[in-house]
């Protein structure tokens, strides 16, 4: 047991160390300001463009290109130079015959720490017209569906692995020797390991908007490995590998049931489970925003309690109740009943905190997508808690009575009648099915936009005037994850009529400076006719600007342009803009 305790401690240390890799970004140049300003419409053509960065730039390696309204390169752009005394700024002269329209400035520089930095921004002369003509691959429906399915499957594997391990070590005397329990334990390990590998492979195409045919793209796999989610998934696989070795090498150690070792064994299982659930907590909204130091442990405890409770139900249903082990049932069922009640109390407390953090108000609970999913999950939890209450009453009737007479002793040795066991088994079966639905709702909540952010965005969008013709608006968004997820989205749609339309999207910070994001994508809908979504092919340039030359509006009506702004691997917001066309 000392060896296993040391291995558990080493496992926790390794998890913290590995999660710390890449936690601090390298300090290299970031674009701070531009002249003309990003998305600015000028009355006359400028004579030069200038770009100011957060640190000094090697001007000898700098490159500035200008793309015209049709996407063609504009000749006559001067070589970048440092203005007097400004090593953090570069400037390039422009030709004097620029016609009206929208121009895209593309740049590539090298900072003093040798990091290449590239990007783009756009400005317009006189009027807004087309920009860079470029298409963009989009994730097909299968990629998105598979990614969501395997996220749910991973929760199922976690619950089976942790719940089975805790049930046989803490509740059921000799349960670890049951072949059915061992099969469930390894099934949980296999499901969790396999789903983690598949999730790692699917994440790149899903996040980058690529079709499922790009699963084996080395560039996407490399990008995934360097992301926070990639590191978390790799960490989880390492933990699962170490856990498999512990299960194989420590099999003899765990044989036999001694009450004196109960706490130690239970603590080891809970420690291993906690190490695994932390890999979920580091990959969801708990790892971002304010109150991280409280949100992370609360989220981990929430998931661990869920795994112990819901994961123990399949062992109870499929193994213990079919084993005929009457003495084992007499000990395990009442004990698991008490543990399940404790898990419910932990889930209620931690879930209340999480709901308050992500929802914030009753209006956000009942008026947002996140709130709807959360309400469904709460309803399912109420159902399963009710079923658990019936189960606890059954346990009390069958095992809680005081043994006084000889007939009482015989009844205790014999256990419940076959018919009673069948009724209890059916009750637990329904609990297992509802528990699977709860895990699905939990997986959906991880990908959902926080309710408070969605409600605030909806209020801002309601103030947009719905009109026919060109659209030129700037809207705030909050993708979650703290200050890095907050910004403004500038949107230009022209001419705003049936046929070919130009769409320009720019992400800005609070001071209207370019703000880089992980992804910008858009789609059109006509809600009144049930048309859409129609993808808007746009290219993300420099991480802060996207242009679509051909956004098709087929028939007159009040269309909706939905723009998804993804600021990190897990944080995103959807901004909706009405576009009237006739």
**What's the pLDDT at 259?**
52
Q: Is the pLDDT of residue 400 over 70?
A: no
Q: CB count, 10 Å around CB of 465? A: 8
Most confident of 28-37, 431-440, 463-472, 499-508: 499-508
Which residue in 335, 508, 373, 504 sits closest to 449, CA to CA?
373
Q: Are the C-beta atoms of residues 94 and 77 closer than 8 Å to each other?
A: yes
Which residue in 280, 242, 239, 270 sits closest to 151, CA to CA?
280
Q: Is the pLDDT of residue 12 over 50?
A: no
Confidence of residue 257 (pLDDT cuts 50, 70, 90): very low
Q: Is the pLDDT of residue 195 over 70?
A: yes
Q: Are the C-beta atoms of residues 1 and 246 closer than 8 Å to each other?
A: no
Q: Are the C-beta atoms of residues 196 and 151 closer than 8 Å to each other?
A: no
For the beta sheet containing 499-508, the strands, ordered from the edge strand earlier in sequence to the opposite edge, are 471-478, 486-494, 499-508, 545-553, 539-541
Exposed, middle or buried by CB within 10 Å (0-12, 13-18, 19+), for 225?
middle
Q: Is the pLDDT of residue 14 over 70?
A: no
Most confident of 71-85, 253-267, 388-402, 453-467: 71-85
| Residue 360 half-sphere exposure toward CB, CA atoms < 13 A | 13
Q: What is the pairing mode between strands 101-110 and 63-67?
A: antiparallel
Confidence of residue 45 (pLDDT cuts 50, 70, 90): very high
Q: CB count, 10 Å around CB of 397? A: 11
Q: Is the pLDDT of residue 358 over 50?
A: yes
Most confident of 105-114, 240-249, 510-519: 240-249
**What's the pLDDT at 40?**
77
Q: Is the pLDDT of residue 224 over 50?
A: yes
Do 31-125 and 465-581 fold alike per CATH? yes
For the beta sheet containing 31-35, the strands, ordered from the edge strand earlier in sequence to the opposite edge, are 31-35, 48-53, 89-93
**What's the pLDDT at 239?**
94
Confidence of residue 192 (pLDDT cuts 50, 70, 90): very high
Q: What average pLDDT does the segment 109-119 reach?
A: 61
- The single-letter DSSP state of residue 468 is B
Q: Which CATH architecture has domain 465-581?
A: Sandwich (2.60)
Using one digit for the tens of pLDDT, what is the confidence trace for 559-580? 888 898 988 877 788 888 888 8
Q: Is the pLDDT of residue 258 over 70?
A: no
- CA–CA gap between residue 563 and residue 566 (Å, rounded): 10
Q: What average pLDDT does the segment 340-368 reach?
A: 74
Q: What average pLDDT does the segment 84-106 reach?
A: 84
Percent of the chain with pLDDT over 70: 71
**What's the pLDDT at 452?**
63
**What's the pLDDT at 91?**
93
DSSP string, 194-217: HHHHHHHHHHHHHHHT--GGGTT-
Using one digit for the tens of pLDDT, what is the confidence trace for 59-69? 766 788 887 77
**What's the pLDDT at 160?**
92
Q: What is the pairing mode between strands 572-581 and 519-526?
A: unpaired
- As given in the structure block, the two tokens for residue 198 are 């598949």
Q: Which residue has the tokens 């998105």?
A: 144
Task: Return the minimum-mean-pLDDT range out of 48-62, 242-256, 538-552.
Answer: 242-256
Phi-psi region of 480 (alpha: psi -120 to 50; beta: other; left: phi over 0): left
Q: Are the C-beta atoms of residues 163 and 309 closer than 8 Å to each other?
A: yes
**What's the pLDDT at 130?**
46
How are the residues of the chain apportioned to helix, strand and coil, as percentages rounded to the nearest 5? 50, 20, 25
Q: What average pLDDT does the segment 120-141 reach?
A: 57
Q: Is the pLDDT of residue 408 over 60?
A: no
**What's the pLDDT at 304?**
92
Q: Is the pLDDT of residue 236 over 90?
A: yes
Question: What's the distance, Cα to Cα, between the start and end of the chain in Å?
Answer: 76
Q: Is the pLDDT of residue 554 over 60?
A: no
Q: Helix, strand or coil for residue 548?
A: strand
Q: What average pLDDT does the segment 275-287 reach?
A: 78
**What's the pLDDT at 428?**
78
- As given in the structure block, the two tokens for residue 225 are 């490995």
Q: What average pLDDT does the segment 384-410 reach?
A: 63
- CA–CA gap between residue 482 and residue 484 (Å, rounded): 6
**What's the pLDDT at 234?**
92
Q: Helix, strand or coil for residue 539?
A: strand
Query: What residues does each domain of the chain span?
Result: 31-125, 139-448, 465-581
Task: Return the minimum-mean-pLDDT range out of 33-47, 183-197, 456-470, 499-513.
Answer: 456-470
Q: Is the pLDDT of residue 15 over 50?
A: no
Q: Is the pLDDT of residue 219 over 50?
A: yes
Start-end of H helices in 464-564: none
Which residue in 252, 131, 183 sits closest to 539, CA to CA?
131
Question: What is the residue-averaged pLDDT of the chain?
Answer: 75
CA distance to 51, 223, 226, 363, per residue, from 113 (Å) = 18, 22, 20, 49
Q: What average pLDDT does the segment 235-260 reach?
A: 75
**What's the pLDDT at 57?**
79
Q: What average pLDDT does the segment 59-86 reach?
A: 81
Task: Return the minimum-mean-pLDDT range out of 177-186, 223-232, 420-429, 438-447.
Answer: 438-447
**What's the pLDDT at 293?**
77
- CA–CA gap between residue 502 and residue 151 (Å, rounded): 37
**What's the pLDDT at 20?**
34
Domain 31-125, what fold? Immunoglobulin-like (2.60.40)
- CA–CA gap between residue 461 and residue 562 (Å, rounded): 11
- CA–CA gap between residue 210 and residue 218 (Å, rounded): 13
**What's the pLDDT at 243?**
92
Q: Is the pLDDT of residue 411 over 60?
A: no
DSSP string, 430-442: HHHHHHHHHHHHH
**Reported pTM:** 0.56
Q: Is the pLDDT of residue 198 over 80?
A: yes
Most confident of 53-62, 351-360, 400-409, 487-496: 487-496
Q: Please provide the size of the chain in residues.
A: 582
CA distance to 175, 179, 182, 326, 492, per residue, from 321 (Å) = 12, 14, 15, 9, 64
Task: Return the minimum-mean-pLDDT range out of 23-37, 91-105, 568-582.
Answer: 23-37
Q: Is the pLDDT of residue 42 over 50?
A: yes
Confidence of residue 360 (pLDDT cuts 50, 70, 90): low
Using one digit for the tens of pLDDT, what is the confidence trace for 319-352? 887 877 777 777 888 888 888 888 888 888 887 7
Q: What average pLDDT does the segment 139-152 reach?
A: 74
Q: Is the pLDDT of residue 28 over 60?
A: no
Q: Are the C-beta atoms of residues 532 and 574 closer than 8 Å to each other?
A: no
**What's the pLDDT at 558?**
79
């Amino acid at each position: 047991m000392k060896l296993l305790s040391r291995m558990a401690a080493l496992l926790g240390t390794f998890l913290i160390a590995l999660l710390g890799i890449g936690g601090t970004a390298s300090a290299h140049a970031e674009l701070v300001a531009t002249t003309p300003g990003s998305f600015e419409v000028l009355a006359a053509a400028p004579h030069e463009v200038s770009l100011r960065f957060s640190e000094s730039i090697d001007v000898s390696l700098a490159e500035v290109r200008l793309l015209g309204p049709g996407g063609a390169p504009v000749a006559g752009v001067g070589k970048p130079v440092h203005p007097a005394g400004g090593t953090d700024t570069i400037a390039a002269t422009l030709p004097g015959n620029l016609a009206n329209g929208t121009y895209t400035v593309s740049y590539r520089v090298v900072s003093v720490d040798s990091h290449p930095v590239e990007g783009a921004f756009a400005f317009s002369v006189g009027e807004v017209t087309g920009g860079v003509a470029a298409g963009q691959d989009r994730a097909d429906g299968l990629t998105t569906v598979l990614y969501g399915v395997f996220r749910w499957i991973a929760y199922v594997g976690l619950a089976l692995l942790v719940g089975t391990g805790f049930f046989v070590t803490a509740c059921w005397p000799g349960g670890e020797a049951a072949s059915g329990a061992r099969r469930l334990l390894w099934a949980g390990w296999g499901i969790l390991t396999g789903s983690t590998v598949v999730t790692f492979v699917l994440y790149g195409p899903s996040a980058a908007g690529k079709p499922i045919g790009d699963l084996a793209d080395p560039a996407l796999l490399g990008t995934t490995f360097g992301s926070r989610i990639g590191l978390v998934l790799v960490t989880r696989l390492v933990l699962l590998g170490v856990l498999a070795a512990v299960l194989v090498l420590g099999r003899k150690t765990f044989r036999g049931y001694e009450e004196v070792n109960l706490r130690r064994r239970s603590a080891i299982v809970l420690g291993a489970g906690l190490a695994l659930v932390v890999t979920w907590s580091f990959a969801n909204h708990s790892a971002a925003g304010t109150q991280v130091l409280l949100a992370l442990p609360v989220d981990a405890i929430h998931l661990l309690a869920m795994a112990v409770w819901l994961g123990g139900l399949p062992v109870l249903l499929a193994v213990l109740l079919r084993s005929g082990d009457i003495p084992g049932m007499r000990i395990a069922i009442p004990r698991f009943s008490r543990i399940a009640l404790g898990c419910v109390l932990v889930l209620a407390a931690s879930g209340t905190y999480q709901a308050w953090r992500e929802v914030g108000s009753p209006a956000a609970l009942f008026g947002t997508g996140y709130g709807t999913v959360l309400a469904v999950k709460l309803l399912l939890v109420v159902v399963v808690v009710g079923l658990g209450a019936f189960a606890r009453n059954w346990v009390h009737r069958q095992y809680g009575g005081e043994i006084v007479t000889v007939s009482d002793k015989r009844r205790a040795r014999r256990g419940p009648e076959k018919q009673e066991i069948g009724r209890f088994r059916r009750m637990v079966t329904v609990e297992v099915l509802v528990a699977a639905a709860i895990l699905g709702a939990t997986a959906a909540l991880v990908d959902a936009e926080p309710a408070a952010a969605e409600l605030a965005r909806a209020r801002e969008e309601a103030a947009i005037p719905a009109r026919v013709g060109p659209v030129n608006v700037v809207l705030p968004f909050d993708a979650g994850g703290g200050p890095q997820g907050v910004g403004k989205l500038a949107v230009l749609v022209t001419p705003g009529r049936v046929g070919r339309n130009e769409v320009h999207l720019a992400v800005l910070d609070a001071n209207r400076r370019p703000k880089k994001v992980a992804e910008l994508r858009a789609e059109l809908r006509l809600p009144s006719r049930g048309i859409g979504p129609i993808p808007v092919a746009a290219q993300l340039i420099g991480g802060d600007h996207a242009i679509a030359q051909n956004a098709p509006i087929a028939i007159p009506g009040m269309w909706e342009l939905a723009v998804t702004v993804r600021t990190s691997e897990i944080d995103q917001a959807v901004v909706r803009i009405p576009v009237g066309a006739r």
